[in-house]
């Protein structure tokens, strides 16, 4: 079991020199970091929504790689490997990492259609950074990885059906960043409506292997209002992916010092 948090990414970076090198390149790149900060300005300052900046990018990156590991343990093969786009599992993990870290960068343009804007912005970023991340690889492989990452970013849009396992993973992981008011339904700060009440009721999110499915997402909440986030964010995301049958959502009500498991939700 692991907790979805900004530090979850670290365990996956330790296990892969490629991911560690690529992560360091992302962290040191002025354009990436400033566009993520601008994404957060547009979301939190100008539109009074919840976080869509560097912290969210780190949380989704760690959760995505954790879900990928659980799926691999369950025998699920990444689409990039199954379809011959890449042959190295580290390359499939890189697609997930880059797609997760850059998935909200289109907010630097505008919240509206930010997934499509993110595809366009990321094209130039990936064209510049992939040769640094994979300096000894054939240029054709870099083109394919770039396309796969752009597919991941585009597929995070609510109305888009994910067509790869990698895109499916990031889409679901995006919805797991919901603890302590970090809900993925944008809600107006200071406005105490159902969105805000539901967001504030989620206390912790964990990832682990499920009893009958490779992935279990455990969501701890201090009121039934938290179900709103699951029904309107996490489940719709899950249902528009290829891994809907591989993931179960386990809500847990925490009240008066007790933990009460609620019915399992699935896609």
- Give me the pLDDT at residue 49, please: 76
- Cβ count within 10 A of residue 167: 29
Q: Which helix (H) or strand (E) holds 258?
A: strand 258-261
CA-based nearest residue to 175, from 147, 125, 215, 211: 215
- Give me the pLDDT at residue 43, please: 86
CA-based nearest residue to 114, from 182, 49, 168: 49
Mean pLDDT per 10-residue interval, the chain, length 267 residues: 97 97 98 96 83 92 98 98 97 98 96 95 98 97 98 97 98 92 57 68 95 96 88 93 98 89 89
Residue 220 has φ and ψ, to the nearest 5°, of -95, 130
- pTM score, whole prediction: 0.95
Q: Which helix (H) or strand (E) holds 43?
A: none
- Give me the pLDDT at residue 192, please: 57
């Amino acid at each position: 079991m692991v907790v979805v948090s900004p530090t979850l990414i670290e365990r996956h970076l330790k296990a892969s020199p490629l991911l560690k090198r690529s992560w360091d390149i992302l962290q040191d790149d002025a354009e990436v970091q400033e566009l993520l900060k601008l994404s957060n300005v547009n979301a939190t300052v100008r539109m009074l929504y919840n976080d869509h900046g560097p912290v969210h990018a780190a949380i989704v990156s760690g959760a995505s790689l954790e879900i990928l590991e659980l799926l691999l343990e369950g025998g699920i093969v990444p689409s990039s490997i199954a379809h011959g786009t890449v042959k190295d599992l580290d390359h499939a993990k890189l697609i997930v990492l880059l797609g997760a870290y850059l998935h909200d960068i289109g907010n630097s343009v505008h919240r509206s259609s930010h997934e499509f804007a993110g595809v366009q912005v990321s094209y130039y970023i990936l064209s510049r950074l992939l040769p640094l991340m994979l300096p000894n690889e054939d240029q054709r492989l870099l083109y394919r990885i770039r396309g796969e990452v752009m597919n991941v970013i585009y597929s995070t849009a609510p109305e888009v059906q994910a067509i790869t396992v990698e895109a499916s993973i990031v889409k679901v992981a995006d919805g797991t960043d919901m603890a302590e008011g970090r809900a993925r339904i944008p809600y107006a700060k200071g406005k105490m409506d159902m969105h805000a009440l539901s967001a504030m009721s989620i206390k912790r999110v964990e990832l682990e292997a499920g009893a009958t499915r490779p992935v279990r997402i455990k969501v701890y909440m201090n009121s039934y209002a938290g179900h709103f986030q699951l029904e309107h964010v996490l489940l719709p995301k899950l249902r528009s992916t290829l891994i809907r049958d591989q993931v179960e959502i386990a809500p847990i009500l925490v009240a008066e010092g007790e933990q009460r498991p609620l019915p399992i939700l699935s896609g």
